Chain A
Amino acid sequence: MIRFENVTKRFGSFVAIDNLSLDIYEREFFALLGPSGCGKTTMMRMLAGFENPSEGNIELDGADIVDVPPNKRAVNMMFQSYALFPHLSVHDNIAFGLKREGMAKDKISARVAEMLRLTRLEKFASRKPHQISGGQRQRVALARSLAKAPKLLLLDEPLGALDKKLREETQFELMDIQEKTGTTFVIVTHDQEEAMTVASRVAVMDAGVLKQVATPSQIYENPNSRYVADFIGDVTILEGRARKEGNRYELAWADGQPPIVAQSALEIGPGDTCYYAIRPEKVEIHHDKPEDDNVLQGKVIDIGYLGNISTYHVQLANGQTIRAQNFNTERSTQQAFTWDDTVWVNWTDRCGILLAN
C-alpha cells in the first residue's frame, strides 16, 4: 500500500535517509525502530507530507504522493507532543478534521461520539486538554487522528510521555483499535519493547538505512547483523573464525577456550571473520559440568535480580563475560548461584546465531 522507492532525503550536507526502498502493506501495524537521529522521524514526516524526499518516490495506493500537500493526504498523524489544540474542548479537537471536510453537523457529532466511545473518553468530551491526564490526552490525540478514517495512521513515539504501566496498557489498546478500525498503522519509536509488542512487522533503522525488516520474532531470533542483534534485546557477541564441520560450523573465538559449535545456513568461507550472538535466556548455568555442546567454565561476577528472572554475568578465564538468565520458578529467597561461584555455562548448537557482519 505504501511504497518507498529509492528515497533519499538530505538536510544540507547531512543525509537523513539514504537510498531507501520499503513496502508497507494494508492493515499492517508497522514499526520503524531505531536510535534517535536514525531517520525514522524523517520517514514519518515524509509520509505525512511535512518533508519532501530529495530523490525518489513515495507511493500511497499506487499513486505518487510526493507533491500532495499534507492537508490533502488521506494520512493522519498522531504527534509525539499530541499537539492538542489547547483552546478547544476534547469534543472539538476530535471534530476539528471533520469540520474541515465540510461534513454535515449531525454526521460530525455521530462520528465524534463513536471516537469518544472507542477511546473511552465519553465523560471528558467537554473538558479542555489541560483539564485531563496525560493518558487521556494521548487517547484524545489518537481519537482525533482516527476521526477522519485515514488510510494510514502515523504514530510518532505515541507512548513516550506515559509512565511504564500506562504505556503497557495503552500498547494493547492501540493493537485493539488497530484491529477494530482496520487502519494501517505506522509507528515510530526508539523503544524496542514497544515496537515488538505492537507491531506485526518491524523495520530496524540506523543512519538512514534499513538494517532489517521482519516480524518481531524473526528480528529477535534471526537478526541479520550484529547491529540488529545488539539493538534488540540483550545479547553477548563473540568474534572469531568459523570452519565448516559437516552440517555445523565450529567457531574458534579465543585461545584456551573450546570452539563454539553452531548450526547455520550462512555460507562462510574458511578463515573468514564472523560473529556469534547468544542471548542470555538461552544460556544455562550449572554447578557441575554438563555433557553437551558449548560448555564453558567461569566465575559469577555479577547478579542482576529482577524478581521473575536473574541474570548472571559469568566471566571466563580469558576475561570474556557470558550472560546467563534463569527463571526463578521456585519461590525462594535463597539463590542457587552466588558471587564468585565457579560455574559452567552451556547452550545447544541451535541457540546462538552466526552472523557474517
Chain B
Amino acid sequence: MRRAIVYLIPFTWLLVLFLVPFLIVFKISLSDVALARPPYTPQLDLSQGLSGILDFVRELDFENFIFLTTDSLYWKAYLSSLKIAAVSTFLTLLVGYPMAYAMARAREDWRPTLLMLIILPFWTSFLIRVYSWMGILGTEGYLNQLLLWLGIVSTPLQILNTNWAVYIGIVYTYLPFMILPIYSQLDRLDGALLEAAEDLGCSRASAFWLVTFPLSRPGVIAGCFLVFIPTLGEFVIPSLLGGSSTLMIGKVLWEEFFSNRDWPVASAVAVVLLIILIIPIILFQKNQQKQAEAEA
C-alpha cells in the first residue's frame, strides 16, 4: 500500500503536469483557427452528450501537420534549430571539458570553491544575464570598445544579432550542464591508471587520449545531451541575441502563438518539436542506464 503511494506520486505528477497538458496541446493542434476566445474550434460541448463528443471528434484533423510540411519555413526552422543546437553543444564541450579537467586536477581543498563558482551564475536571473550579454556584444558594447582600444579592429564588429551571439549566449548559459557531469567522471578517475599508462609507455598526451578521455565519455555524453535537448527548443537567447536571420523553432513557436494567434499551428509545431526531442531524450536515458550498469 505504502509502496503504491510512493509510485503514485511521480506518476500523478507526470500525468497532471505533463501528459494532460500535452493532450490539450495535441487536441488544439488538431483544431482549426477561429476568431473566438479561445481562438480555435471545435469546442467540446459536454451538454450535448455522446453526440456532442462525436461531433467534436469528427471536426478534428491533421490539417495543421500537413501545413507544416508545405511551408518551408517550418522544416527550415527545425533544421536550423538542430544545427544551432549541435554547433553550440560542440562549442560548449570545447569550452567545458578543459574547465572540468582543470577542476578535477585542482587541489582537493579548492574543488568545492571551484564547483561553487560554476553554479554561482544560477543565482542571478537568467534573463538579466542574457540581457547583459547585449551590453557586452553590441556595436557600442564593452567587447568592441576593448577591441578598438587595443587596436585589434578599426571598425566595431557586428556580433550582436548574429548567430555568433546566439552561440556565445548558449555556451555561457549551458556551460555548467556540460562541466558538472564531466567533472564528476574525471573526479572519480583513479590517478594510478594514468601512472600505469605512463609506465606502459604512454606520453602524457597519449595517456589522456587513451585513458582519461575514454573514461570520461559517459560524462561527455550526458553533458552533451543536457545542453543539446534544452537548446533545441531555446527561445529567449535567439530572440534577444540573435538577428532576423537566426531561425529557431522556439522563435517560430512564439510568433505563431503570440503574433499570429494561430494556436492550432503553434500547437502542431510544439508537438513535432516534442517528437524530435524524444529521440535524444531516449538516447540520453540509455546512456545513463549503461553507465549505471557499468558502475554496478
Does B277 reach chain A (CB closer than 8 Å)? no
Asked whether, in the complex, the Cβ of B200 is within 8 Å of the Cβ of A130, the reply is no
Instruction: Give every chain A residue within 8 A of B211 (Cβ-Cβ).
Output: 85
Instruction: Give every chain A residue within 8 A of B215 (Cβ-Cβ).
Output: 86-87
Interface string of A85-118 (1 = CB under 8 A from B): 1110000000011001100000000000000000
Does B193 reach chain A (CB closer than 8 Å)? yes
Question: How far in angstroms is the closest Cβ of chain B from A95?
Answer: 10
Instruction: Give every chain A residue within 8 A of B196 (Cβ-Cβ).
Output: 77, 79, 83-85
Q: DSSP majority for the B interface?
A: helix
Interface string of B187-222 (1 = CB under 8 A from A): 000101101111111110010001100110000000
Partner of B195, one of A70, A86, A96, A148: A70
Asked whether, in the complex, the Cβ of A77 is within 8 Å of the Cβ of B199, the reply is yes
Question: How far in angstroms is the closest Cβ of chain B from A94?
Answer: 10
Asked whether, in the complex, the Cβ of B198 is within 8 Å of the Cβ of A83, the reply is no
Does A172 reach chain B (CB closer than 8 Å)? no
Instruction: Give every chain A residue within 8 A of B193 (Cβ-Cβ).
Output: 83, 85
Partner of A81, one of B190, B202, B206, B210: B190
Does A48 reach chain B (CB closer than 8 Å)? yes
Asked whether, in the complex, the Cβ of B214 is within 8 Å of the Cβ of A87, the reply is yes
Does A144 reach chain B (CB closer than 8 Å)? yes
Evaluate whether A76 and B199 lie within 8 angstroms (CB atoms) in the complex, with A81-B192, A85-B211, A130-B294 already known.
yes
Q: Could you tell me which residues of chain B, from 148 to 199, have a CB within 8 Å of some CB in chain A?
A: 190, 192-193, 195-199
Instruction: Give every chain B residue within 8 A of A79 (Cβ-Cβ).
Output: 192, 195-196
Asked whether, in the complex, the Cβ of B206 is within 8 Å of the Cβ of A100, the reply is yes
Instruction: Give every chain B residue within 8 A of A101 (Cβ-Cβ).
Output: 201
Evaluate whether A97 and B192 lie within 8 angstroms (CB atoms) in the complex, with A85-B211, A86-B215, A87-B215 already known.
no
Interface string of B70-106 (1 = CB under 8 A from A): 0000000000000000000000000000000000000
Instruction: Give every chain A residue within 8 A of B197 (Cβ-Cβ).
Output: 85, 96
Asked whether, in the complex, the Cβ of B201 is within 8 Å of the Cβ of A83, the reply is no
How many contacts A-B (CB < 8 Å)?
Answer: 57
Provide the bound-state CA to CA distance between A101 and B200, in Å.
9
Question: How far in angstroms is the closest Cβ of chain B from A149?
Answer: 12
Does A218 reach chain B (CB closer than 8 Å)? no
Instruction: Give every chain A residue within 8 A of B190 (Cβ-Cβ).
Output: 81, 83
Does A197 reach chain B (CB closer than 8 Å)? no
Interface size class of B (residues with CB under 8 A): 10 to 19
Instruction: Give every chain A residue within 8 A of B195 (Cβ-Cβ).
Output: 48, 50, 70, 77, 79, 83
Question: How far in angstroms is the closest Cβ of chain A from B272?
Answer: 38
Instruction: Give every chain B residue within 8 A of A50 (Cβ-Cβ).
Output: 195, 198
Does A54 reach chain B (CB closer than 8 Å)? no
Does A126 reach chain B (CB closer than 8 Å)? no
**Which residue of the partner chain A has the closest CB to B213?**
A87
Evaluate whether A100 and B200 lie within 8 angstroms (CB atoms) in the complex, with A83-B193, A87-B215 already known.
yes
Q: Which of B192, B214, B294 has the most CB of A within 10 A?
A: B192
Partner of B201, one of A71, A80, A87: A71
Asked whether, in the complex, the Cβ of B192 is within 8 Å of the Cβ of A83, the reply is yes
Asked whether, in the complex, the Cβ of B294 is within 8 Å of the Cβ of A70, the reply is no
Asked whether, in the complex, the Cβ of B203 is within 8 Å of the Cβ of A71, the reply is yes
Instruction: Give every chain B residue within 8 A of A71 (Cβ-Cβ).
Output: 198-203
Asked whether, in the complex, the Cβ of B214 is within 8 Å of the Cβ of A96, the reply is no
Q: Could you tell me which residues of chain A, from 296 to 342, have a CB within 8 Å of some CB in chain B?
A: none
Asked whether, in the complex, the Cβ of B199 is within 8 Å of the Cβ of A96, the reply is no
Q: Which of B193, B199, B202, B215 has the most CB of A within 10 A?
A: B199
Provide the bound-state CA to CA distance between A101 and B201, in Å.
7
**Which residue of the partner chain A has the closest CB to B294?**
A130
Provide the bound-state CA to CA distance between A302 and B197, in Å.
52
Question: How far in angstroms is the closest Cβ of chain A from B259?
Answer: 51
Instruction: Give every chain B residue within 8 A of A49 (Cβ-Cβ).
Output: 199
Q: Which of A79, A83, A97 has the most CB of B within 10 A?
A: A83
Asked whether, in the complex, the Cβ of A70 is within 8 Å of the Cβ of B192, the reply is no
**Which residue of the partner chain B has the closest CB to A45?**
B195
Evaluate whether A97 and B201 lie within 8 angstroms (CB atoms) in the complex, with A50-B195, A81-B192 already known.
yes
**Which residue of the partner chain B has the closest CB to A79?**
B192
Provide the bound-state CA to CA distance between A348 and B206, in Å.
64
Evaluate whether A100 and B201 lie within 8 angstroms (CB atoms) in the complex, with A85-B211, A86-B215 already known.
yes
**Which residue of the partner chain A has the closest CB to B204?**
A71
Question: How far in angstroms is the closest Cβ of chain B from A83?
Answer: 4
Interface string of A37-59 (1 = CB under 8 A from B): 00000000000111000000000
* Minimum-distance CB pairs A-B, first 3: A97-B200, A100-B201, A83-B196
A residues contacting B by CB (< 8 A) are: 48-50, 69-71, 75-77, 79-81, 83-87, 96-97, 100-101, 130, 144-145, 148
Q: A48-B199, A76-B199 are in contact. List 4 more A-B contacts (CB 8 A).
A: A69-B198, A75-B199, A100-B206, A144-B200
Offer 7 A-B interface pairs, CB within 8 angstroms, sorted by A.
A77-B195, A79-B192, A80-B192, A81-B190, A87-B215, A100-B201, A130-B294
